[in-house]
Structure 1
Amino acid sequence: MKKMLLLSTLGFMISPLINAQEAPSSRLERIETTGIMVAGYRETSVPFSYLDPYAPAGMGVDLTFKVLDAVREKLNRPDIQLRWNPVTLSTRLPMMTSNTIDINCATDTHTKEREALVDFSVSYYLSELSGAVRSDRLINSLQDLAGLKISVARNTTTTELLQETLGKDLPFTVTYYPTNRQALKAVHDEEADVYINSDAIIGGELLRMNSNSNLKIVGFGGEPEPFACMLPKGDQEFKALVDETFVKMMQSGEMTAIYNRWLVNPVHNYGASLHIPMSHQLELLYQSPSDQAFVK
C-alpha cells in the first residue's frame, strides 16, 4: 500500500523544506534528500481531484501516484513517501512558485500566461467549454448568452475565453464566485442564468450537488482546453520524468483505462457517471502526446 501523509484541510501551508541557500539543484534531488514528494490536491474538483472522503481521489490523483512510482524507481528509493497538500484556485500557482508543492494534477489549463510561472506536463484531458443551465431554458449556443447573467469561478480561464470567443459585441454580465460550487448554486437558485466552465468540472459539481436538480449541461464547442499537471518552472529533469511516465501510459492504454474509470464509469463514492466518452481529439492526443499550451 502506498504511504501517504495527508495534511489537514484546516492546517497551515507547509513551508519550503529546505532553506534557499541550501536548496538542491533539482526537485528530484530535494525529494531524494527529504524522502518526500509533495503533491497538491483539490478538495472538491470531482472527478479529477477531491476528498473521498478522507483521502484524495480522482484522475489527477491516480496520475500523481504513477509519478510517485516513477520517482521511486528512478531514485531506487521505494521508501519515498507522498505528502498531500490542499490547494485552491487562488493558491495553486503560489504554492508551486514558492516550492511548497512538487506537482499538482487537477484541473489546471496549460496557458502561455501560466508558462511564465510554472511548467506543465504533457496534457491528459481536453475540456470543452460548456454551461449549466436550468432545464426549462432555451440556451443551446454561445450566441444565446446575449444579455444573460453568467456565473464563473474566480482565478479560472473561463471569463477570458468567453471574451475571446464572443467578442465585445455580444453583451453579457459576469458575476464571480469564490468556488465552482457557489457559481453553480447561483444558477440553481436562479441568481444567474448559466454557469460556464469545463464539461467535466460542471458534471462533477452536479454530482456533488447530490440532488435531482433541474439543471442540464450544454456544450458550446470551440477549441478544447488542455489539462496538464503543473510542475516547477525550469526543472527539466523532473518534467522529463513526468512526461515519460505519461507517454508510456498513453502508449500502453493505461491512461485510457484511468480516463474511463473517472469520466465514463460511476465515480467512486457518488454512484453515478459523468458519461463523458473520450473524444476523437483526445484519442489523437494520446497517440501523439503534446505539452503545447492552449491557444485562444
Structure 2
Amino acid sequence: MKRNLLAAALAVASVAAVQPAVAQDLTGTLKKISETKTIVVGYRESSVPFSYLDNNQKPIGYHMDMCNKVVDAVKAKLKMPNLNVQLQPVTSANRIPLLQNGTIDMECGSTTNSVARQEQVSFANSTFITSVKVVVKKSSGIKSLADLDGQPIATTSGTTSVQLIKQNEKGANINFKEIYGKDHAESFLLVANDRAKAFVMDDILIAGLVAQSKNPDEFMFLPEILRTEPYGIMLRKDDPQFKALVDETVNSMIKSGEAEKLYAKWFMSPIPPKNVNLNFPMSPLLKEAFANPNDKGVK
C-alpha cells in the first residue's frame, strides 16, 4: 500500500515538474498568447481582396483566410481550442507601431516585405507579388509619368509608393504635390473626385478599388511599372518561434494546393460585396515564390 502511494506521489510530482517546463519553452508571441489566452489579428478595412470589410463589417479576404489557418495552428500548438480571437483594424500609418507595442500579434493586410521594414518587423514567407503602378482617369489626358509634372498625386499615409516615381527615369525630373488619404479607399476617392490626378499604389489594390467603384471604365493604369514587391503576413521582429509556426502553416497551404485554391477564390471569382471578379491571374513571379517559399524583402 505504501509502495502504491509512493508511486502515485512520484507520478503527480513528475507531471507537475513537466507542466512548467512546457510553459517555459514558449517565447515571444506564443508565450504572450498563452498567458493572455487571446490572439489579436490586425486587419485592413479596404485592402481588397486581401483584407477588407464586407457588408456586415466582417473582415474577409485572401490574407484573412490564411491568417485564420494560422490561428487554427496556434490553437493546436497551445492546445487551446477555445482561444479568444480579437480582430483589430489597422492602417498603413499605425500597423507597425501596433505590432511592435503588442497591440496586435500579426498583421493580415497588404503590407510589402521590404528590407527597410525588416529593420523593424519580420515577415512570413511571401504569399503575393505585386507591381506598383499609377492609376489615372482616362479623361485626364495623362499618358505617362512625365505628364504628372506639376500635378497633385494621391498617396496613402504610412506608405512609400509615391517616392518610386522619382526613381523612374520618366519621373526623375518632375515635381508634384502629394495629397494624403488615411487609407487606400480614401486615396482612390481623391482621384475619383478630381482632387488628385493620380494614385500610386500596388496594382492589385488599385484593381480592387476600380472594380468596386461606380464607374470602373473611367480609370486606367499608366504603362510604367515602378517596382515589384512581395507581400507577407507581418510579424514581430526577433520572434523565431512564432515565425516558424506561421511559415510552416503557409508552406503547408502552398504544398497542399490550398493556397492556390484561395487565390482562385479571391482573384479569379466573384467576391463580396458586389460580386465583382477581379480576373487577376497568378503571375509567374508568385508561382515561383510558391515553388520556392522565402521571406526575401525588396530593397
Q: TM-score, normalised by structure 1?
A: 0.85
Give the residue type in structure 2 aligned to 1:265.
S
Q: Identify the residue that residue 58 of structure 1 maps to in structure 2.
A: 61
Give the superposed CA RMSD: 2.0
How has the CA–CA distance of structure 1 residues 130 and 290 changed in structure 2, closer, same or farther, with 3 Å as cutoff? same
2:34 to 29, 32, 35: 32
Q: Identify the residue that residue 110 of structure 1 maps to in structure 2.
A: 113
Q: Which has the higher helix share?
A: 2
Distance 2:131 2:211 in 1: 18
Q: Deviations over 1:85-135 (max 9, x none)?
A: 111111111110101110011111111221122111111111111222112
Q: Deviations over 1:190-244 (max 9, x none)?
A: 2222111111111222244344562233453243111111101111000011011
CA contact (8 A) 2:162 2:201 kept: no
Between the two proteins, what is the percent identity of the paired residues?
Answer: 32
Distance 1:270 1:117 in 2: 37
How has the CA–CA distance of structure 1 residues 171 and 154 changed in structure 2, closer, same or farther, with 3 Å as cutoff? same
What secondary structure, in the 3-state scheme, does the structure 2 residue paired with 1:156 have? coil
How has the CA–CA distance of structure 1 residues 208 and 225 changed in structure 2, closer, same or farther, with 3 Å as cutoff? same
Give the residue type in structure 1 aligned to 2:236.
P
What secondary structure, in the 3-state scheme, does the structure 2 residue paired with 1:220 have? coil
Q: Identify the residue that residue 272 of structure 2 maps to in structure 1.
A: 268
Given the alignment of the two structures, is residue 285 of structure 1 paired with residue 289 of structure 2, yes or no? yes
Q: 1:73-112 alignment to 2 at 5 Å?
A: 73-112=76-115
Q: Identify the residue that residue 178 of structure 1 maps to in structure 2.
A: 182
Given the alignment of the two structures, is residue 165 of structure 1 paired with residue 153 of structure 2, yes or no? no
Query: Offset of 1:146 from its aligned partner?
Result: 4.1
Given the alignment of the two structures, is residue 130 of structure 1 paired with residue 133 of structure 2, yes or no? yes
How has the CA–CA distance of structure 1 residues 218 and 271 changed in structure 2, closer, same or farther, with 3 Å as cutoff? farther
Q: TM-score, normalised by structure 2?
A: 0.84
More moved, 119-128 vs 210-219: 210-219
Given the alignment of the two structures, is residue 251 of structure 1 paired with residue 255 of structure 2, yes or no? yes
Give the residue type in structure 2 aligned to 1:77.
M
What secondary structure, in the 3-state scheme, does the structure 2 residue paired with 1:293 have? coil
Q: Identify the residue that residue 49 of structure 1 maps to in structure 2.
A: 51
Show structure 1 runs of 5+ residues with no match: 1-23
Distance 1:144 1:276 in 2: 28
Task: Count matched residues.
Answer: 272
Query: Offset of 1:282 from its aligned partner?
Result: 0.7
Distance 1:178 1:213 in 2: 25
CA contact (8 A) 1:39 1:84 kept: yes
Instruction: Work out which of the two has the higher radius of gyration on C-alpha atoms and give 1 or 2.
Output: 2
Distance 1:210 1:231 in 2: 36
How has the CA–CA distance of structure 1 residues 212 and 225 changed in structure 2, closer, same or farther, with 3 Å as cutoff? closer
What secondary structure, in the 3-state scheme, does the structure 1 residue paired with 2:114 have? coil
2:244 to 234, 240, 260: 240
Query: Offset of 1:275 from its aligned partner?
Result: 1.8
Distance 2:182 2:57 in 1: 23
Distance 2:223 2:52 in 1: 24
CA contact (8 A) 2:164 2:227 kept: no
Distance 1:164 1:100 in 2: 35
